Amino acid sequence: MPPETSSFAARHAVAVSRAYRRSGAAAWGVSEARFAQALVRSAWHRLGDGCDAVPATAAYLDSLHLEDLALATACLDGRDAAWQHFVSVYRPDLRQAARAIAGEAGTEIADGIFAELYGLDEAEPERKSLLRYFHGRSRLSTWLRTVLAQRHVDRIRAARRLDPLDETAADDRPLDADTSSDPPEPKRGRFVAAFRVALAHAVAALDPVQRQRLAWYHVHQLTLAEIGRLLREHEATVSRKLDRARRDLRQSVERELRDRHHFTDAEVSRCFELGLVPAEADVGGLLAGVSPPSQGRA
């Protein structure tokens, strides 16, 4: 069970107060006691019983994207100013990203996510916002893209479950659809599962500095210049090494799919086709524990 907020705040008083000041939560009308609840939830989710340890918890709280967590907390509390800011800042980008991966259906997906974020569900007597799952470990924009990718995958899976299997229905598919390369559903599940496992292994096997670069750039959204200053490298060097890390990831995934699962080249390609949409979400989650130093943030 998570610790009581009062006992957590007392044990980590210095770290909680520092986090509250840095978060700007007061500007949204969020009290320190209320923000401490969000910090407890985040620390417990990440550290479990280890959140009793003062040094480890203080370091964890310092690593969070506290301004984003403060905004999410204010939105959870239904504060109008926070919601207006949230919608104006994040809705356009989320809609654009949704259209990029899902075409015209993207706007519907993005708007559906905002309904979930607000907690609109006729089946629920009380508002339960999706934001309660945001813990501040990544930027809010990154977390939203992760939710978007997952919702898109959910829609694809739901549509495939509803696809009729008779020959007439198959003839109604678009003429450019490559039906000959579509594997049966059981094999599709095997491909996706194998891809995700291989991706997790590949991320874990990365050189720590490669993993750090990827996390700083893709999860924490530091610029090439910021990463270069932190690692004492030129921007061009950072860019080149990021490209190398991505290539290493892909090669490692391909190697495991061939060597461990004995997939053919065509099957490996199919794994990437099926796993590509949720890949950004998976990598974001796998790298979320890598936090930038405080001096690296804007």
Residue 287 lies in a domain: yes
Tell me what pLDDT residue 273 has.
73
Residue 274 lies in a domain: yes
Tell me what pLDDT residue 291 has.
62
Higher pLDDT, 182 or 67: 67
Tell me what pLDDT residue 282 has.
52
* Pair (116, 192) in one structural domain: no
Each residue's pLDDT tens digit, 73-115: 999 999 999 999 999 999 888 888 788 777 777 788 888 888 8
Tell me what pLDDT residue 163 has.
46
Q: How confident is the model at residue 176 (pLDDT cuts 50, 70, 90)?
A: very low
* Pair (143, 220) in one structural domain: no
Judged against a pLDDT cut of 50, whether residue 65 lies above it is answered with yes
* Pair (142, 39) in one structural domain: no
Lowest mean pLDDT among 41-45, 120-124, 255-259: 120-124
Judged against a pLDDT cut of 80, whether residue 129 lies above it is answered with yes
* Pair (247, 276) in one structural domain: yes
Residue 162 lies in a domain: no
In Å, how far are 2, 149, 175, 245, 274 from 185, measured between CA atoms?
A: 40, 21, 21, 32, 12
* Pair (128, 189) in one structural domain: no
* Pair (240, 286) in one structural domain: yes
Please tell me the total count of domains within the chain. 3
* Pair (195, 225) in one structural domain: yes
Q: What is the pTM of this model?
A: 0.56
Judged against a pLDDT cut of 60, whether residue 184 lies above it is answered with no
Residue 265 lies in a domain: yes
* Pair (290, 188) in one structural domain: yes
The arithmetic mean of pLDDT across residues 117-144, rounded, is 76
The boundaries of the domain holding residue 121 are 80-153
The arithmetic mean of pLDDT across residues 115-125, rounded, is 64
* Pair (119, 191) in one structural domain: no
Residue 44 lies in a domain: yes
Q: How confident is the model at residue 296 (pLDDT cuts 50, 70, 90)?
A: very low
